[in-house]
Amino acid sequence: MPEAAQRELTFLAAITAALKEEMARDAAVMVLGEDVAVGGPFGATRGLAEEFGTARVVNTPISEGAVMGVAVGAAVLGRRPVVEIMFIDFITLAMDQLVNQAAKLHYMSGGQLRVPLVVRTQCGATGSYAAQHSQCLEAWFLHVPGVKVVMPATPADARGLLKAAIRDDNPVLFIEQRGLYWSKGAVEEGEAGIVPLGRAAIRRGGEDVTVVALASMVSEALSAAGQLAEEGISAEVIDPRSLHPLDLETIAESVKKTHRLLIVHEAVAQGGVGAEVAMQAQLAAFNYLDAPVRRLGAPFTPVPYSPVLERGYVPNAAAIVATVQQLMRE
Amino acid sequence: MAAKSQLDGGTAQALLETMWTIRLFEERVTELCGTNEIPGLTHVGIGQEAVAAGTCSVLRRDDYVYGSHRCHAPAIAKGADLGRLMAELAGRSGGYCAGKGGSMHIVAAEVGFLSGTGVVGGTLPLAVGSALVCRDHGRGQVVMVFFGDGAAQAGLFHESLNLASLWELPVIFVCENNGYAEFTPLSAHTKVERLASHATTYAIPCRTVDGNDVGAVRQAAAEAVETARGGGGPGFLECLTYRLRGHYVGDPAKYRELSEVGEWKKKDPLQRFLEVVARHALLTAEEVEAVERQARERVEAAAQTALASPPPTIDQTESHVYA
């Protein structure tokens, strides 16, 4: 494989690269959010204000609701705003503008208005940030027609999906799992490596069980698949990458081959993405299933603070191995 | 009185046309609600016409307007096509939004009416965002956003005023203070007597005007718009007015004293302006009569257009979810 146009970047640096590239490519792209002009809490927007000016990299007060609305009002006049909600927990403050305005204006206007908006936010229980800075809330937005939902698992996808999201003419919720920020991987440059929304990636081929894993659970699932291989269980690991639109075809094809399906996410299992994937997959491949579809997620509690509790809260490779072993006995 | 006498005949005629059109349009809407030709939740602002007519009369075609849930008046004042507007209220395919928006969600993009909203205060930040784009365009465009007194107690109102002030944006906040948030008088929702004082908090120039005096409204709006066009930042107008009908069509409005409604009927903005026009001889009696007659004809034609428009086909449910 030619390596010329690739470089090794962290997930965070891949986000920054995508923002820079899209801002350079299209003057309509702008960034808004708290502290974005100074790089934000994790440095994702570092250097953007210096390069593109503070008219396009707009620092905002702590007013998530109005800032989301400002982005919508700019988007309907042709801008392509990328709003940063510092923690997905705070998106609650912007729900009205995202759900009632951004998601519905194209529909309610009979197509007169478009809202090309990206909401970048991060999630996940790591570092004892506790219950109001750690949630995984992606499932809420699968229930909102008009919004697309993306959750990258690798630096390459972080860049490729963010570029695609910025070029999309709809509101896209772009969820970054904080635990992945400092992970490294090969990332392409220029127009290469753009990842269309709605296309899953098969991270490991397998024959006996399909494991659909979201974001940080992809690496846990791959680790689990390695352990399961030693027991003679061949697991196929699928990273859906975007949750809406969902690449059901890739998942269903896999299930038709393996006859077993497990969905893993860090979010609370109840009412999570796993339920929706399970529903769609069983409709598409019911006759191929040899066992009930299973899901693995966090327990039905707020995210705990203590490191001991937090570690126990997040699903891991061991839990995936155990669930697959049980699934294989069914 | 100075403001009124500053009006010339042409301006008076335009204001009168707009006010009559809004009044007759909303009276026709009320009738069509009664016969179920217009479904759903419909909010009319009969008695408040001077606010939209006066403020929008100083706007350019390339300016933008956002409305509240009571948004027919600013849409009409911004130049929306009456037939497409009425068809939208009737849920017909020929409506501005192809029958997918309805009374609270009017969008007439072709004339810069960007959206009403079903959520009180919901369009305030949208107006600020559009004003950000207008500022960067550098063509002197402004954004005007209408909202009621009920919105002034919402968080988004305060966040939006702060942002507009901070970024010195060309947006004019028009508070239609009709004294009631749905069924409750303003005094039961806040101890702040003058809602314009919120603008002072955020260092936005503000005026409280008699919202039933179309000349006074126009004059105050002209000053705010001129400032905003010149890069002088946002403005805030509190227009004191009253809705002569209920919160929604069909609301018996038993929460108000009949005597109160009677007092405000004497201050009907349309009648008051007709008196001003006559007193200052701004138009002849024949001209005044022609304005009303033509408005009536336009509204009736709009109703016929709307009712002749077919309803959307069921397959349209799933169009326009994503662009």
| Residues forming a β-bridge with A204 | A237
Interface test with B, best of A112, A117, A141, A170 (most B CBs within 10 A): A112
Identify whether the C-beta of residue A101 lies closer than 8 Å to the C-beta of residue A136.
no
B172 vs A182: CA distance, rounded Å? 45
Q: Which two tokens stand for residue A310?
A: 């937090």
Tell me, yes or no, if A133 is annotated catalytic: yes
> Which CATH number characterizes residue A296's domain?
3.40.50.920
A chain contacts of residue B133, beta-carbon cutoff 8 Å: 73-74, 77-79
Other residues' Cβ atoms within 10 Å of the Cβ of residue B201: 13
* Fold type of domain B2-310: Rossmann fold (3.40.50)
Partner-chain contact B163 A70, CB within 8 Å: yes
A257 vs B76: CA distance, rounded Å? 60
Identify whether the C-beta of residue A297 lies closer than 8 Å to the C-beta of residue A265.
yes
Q: For residue range B249-293, what is the model confidence (pLDDT) as tens digits? A: 999 899 999 999 999 999 999 999 999 999 999 999 999 999 999
Q: Residue B56's closest CA among B168, B142, B138?
A: B142
A chain contacts of residue B160, beta-carbon cutoff 8 Å: 66, 69
B119 Cβ under 8 Å from any chain A Cβ: yes
Q: Does residue A296 sit within a domain?
A: yes
Q: Provide the pLDDT confidence category of residue A6 given band limits of 50, 70 and 90.
A: confident
Low-confidence ranges of chain B (pLDDT < 70): 1-5
Position B106 scores a pLDDT of 98
Q: Which of A66, A101, A107 sits opposite B163 (nearest CB)?
A: A66
Do A171 and A79 fall into the same domain?
A: yes
Partner-chain contact A109 B115, CB within 8 Å: yes
Position B2 scores a pLDDT of 42
Do A161 and A205 fall into the same domain?
A: no
> Which CATH number characterizes residue A10's domain?
3.40.50.970
Q: Does residue A229 sit within a domain?
A: yes
Q: Residue A268 is part of which domain span?
A: 201-329
Q: Does residue A196 sit within a domain?
A: no
B99 Cβ under 8 Å from any chain A Cβ: yes
Partner-chain contact A105 B322, CB within 8 Å: no
Is residue A3 over pLDDT 60? Answer: no
Average pLDDT over residues A232-255: 98
**Is residue B263 classed exposed, middle or buried when 0-12, 13-18 and 19+ CB atoms within 10 A define those classes?**
exposed
Q: For residue range A45-88, what is the model confidence (pLDDT) as tens digits? A: 999 999 999 999 999 999 999 999 999 999 999 999 999 999 99
Mean pLDDT over the full length of chain A: 97
Interface test with A, best of B115, B144, B157, B162 (most A CBs within 10 A): B115
A chain contacts of residue B84, beta-carbon cutoff 8 Å: none
Distance from CA of A56 to the nearest CA of B (A): 10
Position B5 scores a pLDDT of 52
Interface test with B, best of A109, A113, A149, A242 (most B CBs within 10 A): A109
Do A116 and A167 fall into the same domain?
A: yes
Task: Out of A133, A161, A188, pick the residue that ends a domain.
Answer: A188
Residues 6 or more apart in contact with residue B18 via CB below 8 angstroms? B49, B52, B53, B56, B57, B76, B77
Task: Out of A139, A156, A188, pick the residue that ends a domain.
Answer: A188
Do A242 and A171 fall into the same domain?
A: no
Do A181 and A263 fall into the same domain?
A: no
Q: For residue range A201-228, what is the model confidence (pLDDT) as tens digits? A: 999 999 999 999 999 999 999 999 999 9
List the Cα angle B157/A65/A54 in 5-degree steps.
100
B100 Cβ under 8 Å from any chain A Cβ: yes
Do A184 and A247 fall into the same domain?
A: no
Position B91 scores a pLDDT of 98
Average pLDDT over residues A266-288: 98
Q: Does residue A248 sit within a domain?
A: yes
Do A183 and A229 fall into the same domain?
A: no
B249 vs B247: CA distance, rounded Å? 7
Say which of A21, A34, A106, A133 is annotated catalytic: A133
Do A78 and A213 fall into the same domain?
A: no
Is residue A315 over pLDDT 70? Answer: yes
Do A120 and A216 fall into the same domain?
A: no
Other residues' Cβ atoms within 10 Å of the Cβ of residue B143: 31
Say which of A21, A22, A34, A64 is annotated catalytic: A64
Position B181 scores a pLDDT of 86
Q: Does residue A195 sit within a domain?
A: no
Provide the domain count of chain A: 2
Tell me, yes or no, if A64 is annotated catalytic: yes
